[in-house]
Amino acid sequence: MLDFSLTPDQEALKARARKFALEEVLPVAAYYDEKDEMPMEVLKKAFDAGIMNADIPEAYGGKGNGLIESALVTEELAAACPGLATSIFDSSLGVEPILLSENETLKRRYLPKIAGSFKLVCFATSEPGMGSDVAGIRCKAEKRGDDYILNGTKYWITNGGAADYMTVFATTDPGKGHEGICAFLVDRNWEGVSVGKKIPKMGQRCSNTAGLNFRNVRIPADNVLAPPGKGFVMAMKTFARTRPIIGSFGVGAARSAMEFALEYAKKRKAFGAPIQNFQAIQFKLAEMYQKIETARLLTWKAAWDADNGTEPEVNASIAKFYATEAALEVVDEAMQICAGYGYTRMFPVEKLYRDIRLLRIYEGTSEIQRIIVAGHLLTKYRPVMPPLADLPLHREEDPLSPGFGEEGKAPWRCRMCGHVHYGEEAPEECPYCFFPKSAFRRS
Ligand SMILES: Cc1cc2nc3c(=O)[nH]c(=O)nc-3n(C[C@H](O)[C@H](O)[C@H](O)COP(=O)(O)OP(=O)(O)OC[C@H]3O[C@@H](n4cnc5c(N)ncnc54)[C@H](O)[C@@H]3O)c2cc1C
């Protein structure tokens, strides 16, 4: 059964998120972007409205939302401000390794706190010297008795300057690659934890990004999220669940940009007519809408996969790179339609443009998504079609080759170019590609 309809609860959640986006996010977005500041009170309101940290299971005191719910909420928030949407969603990214952890004691201790009161959790794999190559982490975790001592620096950490808790990925031995990767839940107030200055950015200036430094930070054994050897898989599984939602950022931002362009196209006149009358503009709008609808389908499919127990990794990557690249194309076209005004800071398209450029970079670049999808195709994908050498032959005749069906004549297929020769044996040489007899195999 295929069903794209939302449940009454999902419709209500979407309406709540839309109301929050229009009333609490949109009015402050441009202001905080100019100020380059993250408004903590908006995050607190999002938590109070039940649209932040809402994916913690009910067993731990949470709302138990799935990824579809997260996609619905994020599309609405990102439509109003991708930067604030990042700040709000980032806590789910930080919580994900806790949800994936096998450390039940830690889950029971932290998840009810995060579900029940306003807490931010950030996620830290990236470092000054690495981002894509998670197995190349240098932040060092040294075992001391049952505890670990953490030393190193994390960089680009969203909400790094505001989070109460940090899910930090480290290595026991940089020489071991992914085998050495482990993960910990770190309390911001522990001795030896420090936060760097806010990193100035091109866009998403309503979200906080900072470096984190750990100097001889003692991590109690209870705070191990993943022991050495299990941290890499945990990071990959986290991304597989959060990448569809980055797709939703693209859907929301692109939707806004299209709506601003649509309104402008109706009002703006050139050569004596509203520009909406020009087919060049209509085609742009049609393609923008097509990309938004396609992107939403892909993100929902990947989110649905995750919610229904299907391994979401490949569809998550497809959704992420399609939706985020489509968003950039849509916002670019929206700017083209709004033209000079679109390029100004008084029109909202310019901010969307700056904000969404990041989507192709964080949580795995577009290149990394392509590597994942290509890797799947090359190693796991099971084709339906037979290989060229085994293509079935027409049962009654072969217009390309004489000799079909004649007594004693068997089909011989050239493995290089696909030519089928009928004969008692293979020809000395292929008449098409000149490969020798040895290239032929009996079909
Ligand atoms: C605003 C912002 C917020 C962020 N938030 C967080 C956060 O909360 N937590 C966190 O851990 N990280 C965060 N990041 C880091 C982000 O995930 C990384 O920037 C991203 O993964 C890319 O890593 P990099 O910048 O080190 O680029 P690199 O990995 O150095 O890559 C440089 C370029 O080479 C390409 N490349 C790399 N490897 C390959 C390959 N094998 N084949 C082909 N091309 C390749 C990349 O695609 C890219 O184009 C954030 C980044 C930014 C800018």
Give the residue whose CA is nearest to atom 37 of ligand 1: 132
Look at residue 398 and tell me whether its pLDDT is greater than 90: no
* Rounded distance between C-alpha atoms, residue 208 and residue 39, angstroms: 9
**Over the Cα atoms of the chain, what is R_g?**
27
Q: What is the pLDDT of residues 361-396, one digit of tens each?
A: 999 999 999 999 999 999 999 999 999 889 998 888
pLDDT at residue 250, rounded to an integer = 98
* Ligand 1 center–CA 245 separation, angstroms: 17
Q: What is the pLDDT of residues 124-143, one digit of tens each?
A: 999 999 999 999 999 999 99
CB 75 within 8 A of CB 81: no
* Rounded distance between C-alpha atoms, residue 305 and residue 290, angstroms: 23
Look at residue 397 and tell me whether its pLDDT is greater than 90: no
Percentage of the chain beyond pLDDT 70 is: 100
What is the best residue among 86, 122, 132, 138 to mutate for testing ligand 1's pocket, by most ligand atoms within 8 Å of CB?
132
The token pair that represents 9 in the structure block? 């609860």
Q: What is the dihedral of CA 273, 279, 281, 287, to 10 degrees?
A: 160
* Ligand 1 center–CA 197 separation, angstroms: 20
What residues have CB less than 8 Å from 41, skipping those under 6 apart?
none
363 carries an active-site annotation: yes
Atom number, ligand 1, closest to the C-alpha of residue 122:
8
* Rounded distance between C-alpha atoms, residue 296 and residue 329, angstroms: 15
* Ligand 1 center–CA 235 separation, angstroms: 14
Give the residue whose CA is nearest to atom 31 of ligand 1: 132
Look at residue 403 and tell me whether its pLDDT is greater than 90: no
Active-site option among 363, 367, 396, 424: 363
Q: What is the pLDDT of residues 163-207, one digit of tens each?
A: 999 999 999 999 999 999 999 999 999 999 999 999 999 999 999
DSSP 418: -
Atom number, ligand 1, closest to the C-alpha of residue 204:
1
Give the residue whose CA is nearest to atom 22 of ligand 1: 131
Atom number, ligand 1, closest to the C-alpha of residue 160:
8
The stretches of 56-182 forming alpha helices (DSSP H) are: 67-80, 82-100, 104-116
Look at residue 399 and tell me whether its pLDDT is greater than 90: no
Mean pLDDT of all residues in 331-357: 98
Band the pLDDT of 404: cuts 50, 70, 90: confident
* Ligand 1 center–CA 259 separation, angstroms: 31
Atom number, ligand 1, closest to the C-alpha of residue 368:
47
**231 three-class SS:** helix
pLDDT at residue 401, rounded to an integer = 81
131 lines ligand 1 (CB under 6 A): yes
The token pair that represents 146 in the structure block? 């049952």
Q: How many CB atoms lie within 10 A of CB 410?
A: 13
Q: What is the pLDDT of residues 301-334, one digit of tens each?
A: 999 999 999 989 999 999 999 999 999 999 999 9
Q: Is 359 exposed, middle or buried (0-12, 13-18, 19+ CB in 10 A)?
A: buried
* Ligand 1 center–CA 168 separation, angstroms: 16
Write the single-letter amino acid at 6. Answer: L
The structure's pTM equals 0.95
DSSP 188: T
Give the residue whose CA is nearest to atom 38 of ligand 1: 132
Closest alpha carbon to 152 in 122, 176, 120, 130: 130
What is the best residue among 362, 368, 369 to mutate for testing ligand 1's pocket, by most ligand atoms within 8 Å of CB?
362
* Ligand 1 center–CA 93 separation, angstroms: 16
Look at residue 14 and tell me whether its pLDDT is greater than 90: yes
